[in-house]
Chain A
Amino acid sequence: MPGLVALLFLVIPLIALIVQTPWEAFPKIISSPEALEALRLSLVTSLVATAFAALFGIPMAWLLAREILPFTGLLRALVIVPLLLPPVVSGVALLEALGRRGLVGAFLYDTLGITFPFTTVGVVIATTFVAMPFLVITMEGGFRSLHQRYEDAAATLGAGSRRVFLRITMPMVAPAAIAGLVLCWARALGEFGATITFAGNFPGVTQTMPLAVYTALESDRSVAIALSMVLLVVSVGVLVALRGKYLQTRAS
């Protein structure tokens, strides 16, 4: 019974969203320039954030899994913190670090004239900060479950460490990598709190889909619901596609 309650609890809001969607006005709402701009921005920033997370996060996951650095336990805890932190707090922390008068941001502004708030780069920074831990945690699990002897064998056969990582290690942890990348991307796509706090809210520059939904809620509820529907469809669509292609084969 409690299981059914949980099921209803999770499913009913989604059904309500579908029921309340203004289907007649739907094509017009989602093809408006504002909506398309927000969708484009969301796709671009979430994909770039996922790419950055992969580029830097996967090597870090490997460092954690192989316990190469001292105090690995502590480091792992620090990496997980942004995952548990309320996103708005992450936004405040980012402002304190990379804002124009922030710890590092003041130096960047004074020497190079670079600022991140109110820019699309700022959105990528905020979403990467919030989403990367999902990839790191998943990948670390993948690396840990991998026997080191395969890597050792390749190394004894003369492969360099980079070659071992790319040709032996990565293909073997591919399922974990895909699961991690999807989780990370989905989290990046849905990012709201850190983005509006650190990067602000401006159409075409920093107003991603979740921010557009929240802004529309202030003026036109039906627009907000239609935009929410788009996000729901995108999320479910990607999960279904990946499930058919990868996750099932792993289970079999």
Chain B
Amino acid sequence: MTKMLHGFVAIAFVVGLGAFFPSASGAAPKPSGTLTVSAAASLTDVFPVIADAFEKRYPDTEIKLNFAGSSTLMNQVIAGAPVDVIATASKSTIQIGIDSELVARPLRFTKNFLTIAVPLGNPANISKISDLQRDGLLLGVCDTAVPCGSAAVELFTKNTLDVTAVTRELDVRSVLAKVISGDLDAGIVYVTDVKSAENRVEFVQIPFRDNVVATYHISMVADTREQQLAQRFVNFVRFSTTSQGIMRAFGFAKPW
């Protein structure tokens, strides 16, 4: 069902906005080939739609997607996985790749904010961020090894909160799953995560001035064999109205 919805959203965007993007001039060769794109776990819902839109724009191309926590993805590239493009949920994770010259010029392509996910009915009555300090509250966060975890720590520091989590999950979707099941009273996740789980979870908004921003970065992997196509995909994600429109629809913020 979600897949169908994705397809529908993608088609709507391509049809609706295609007019603004006349196809490349006849002289240039038609882009073709297959790209392997590694993307952060929090992009699990939105990237398939963007990939569909890209493949519709350039019918001779194919995008293969690989999702995991940002640091796992970076580790895979370091270990030599055949990846052409990598998109992470923070700059620091992709920085490791730049330092070891495995990744070329990472660029920001979208932003995301944190929010407090609570089970339906909000049984622990969380209404503001300082409620997270309550004794005995079952709060879940990501481990600091993954971007959503370091962002959560930043959030607590910024608001001088003294909180103790009961679990440090290894990706943001695991935190969300345990909130949905009602085993956690609250979890620190991205705005886009609760949007993907509408009707199964509620959320308590964190005011903009108290919030922490996650900046998503995308880059071509240095030794890709598909340099031109990889660059085209990176540009498509960053600049096309189609891709940016899809990201807005999924709750991601403008990159600048």
Contacts and interface: CB of A to CB of B under 8 A. Distances in A.
B182 A202 contact: no
DSSP class of B's interface residues: helix, strand, loop or mixed? loop
Contact of A218 (B146, B165, B181, B182): B146
Interface residues of A, number: 22
B145 A215 contact: yes
Interface string B153-175: 00000000000011111100010
Nearest to A220: B145
Interface stretch (A50-58, A72-80, A93-101): A93-101
Interface in B171-186: 174, 178, 181-184
Contacts of A205: 166
24 contacts: A99-B181, A99-B183, A101-B182, A101-B183, A115-B183, A118-B166, A118-B167, A118-B184, A196-B169, A196-B174, A200-B168, A201-B143, A201-B169, A201-B170, A202-B165, A215-B143, A215-B170, A216-B145, A218-B69, A218-B143, A218-B146, A218-B170, A219-B144, A219-B145
Contacts of A165: none
Interface string B132-149: 000000101001111000
Contacts, number: 62
A100 B183 contact: yes
B182 A99 contact: yes
A221 interface: yes
A206 B143 CA distance: 13
B224 interface: no
A214 interface: yes
A221 B75 contact: yes
A210 interface: no
Interface string A205-245: 11100000011111101000000000000000000000000
B71 interface: yes
Interface of A: 95, 99-101, 115, 117-118, 196, 200-203, 205-207, 214-219, 221
B145 to A, nearest CB: 4
Given A118-B166, A118-B167, A202-B167, A219 B183 contact: no
DSSP class of A's interface residues: helix, strand, loop or mixed? loop
Given A100-B183, A118-B167, A200 B146 contact: no
Interface of B: 69, 71-72, 75, 138, 140, 143-146, 165-170, 174, 178, 181-184
A218 B169 CA distance: 12
B146 A201 contact: no
Nearest to A217: B75
Given A101-B183, A115-B183, A215-B143, 4 more contacts: A99-B183, A117-B183, A201-B143, A218-B146
B42 to A, nearest CB: 15
A95 B183 contact: yes
Residue among A196, A200, A203 having the largest count of chain B Cβ atoms under 10 Å: A200
Contacts of B146: 218
A95 B145 contact: no
Nearest to B143: A215
Q: Shortest 5 CB-CB distances between A and B: which pairs? A: A200-B167, A218-B145, A219-B145, A118-B166, A101-B182
Given A95-B183, A200-B167, A217-B75, A118 B138 contact: yes
B248 to A, nearest CB: 30
Residue among B75, B165, B182 having the largest count of chain A Cβ atoms under 10 Å: B182
A214 B183 contact: no
A69 to B, nearest CB: 33
A99 B170 CA distance: 20
A203 B164 CA distance: 12
Contacts of A214: 170
Contacts of A219: 71, 144-145
A202 B75 contact: no
A202 B183 contact: no
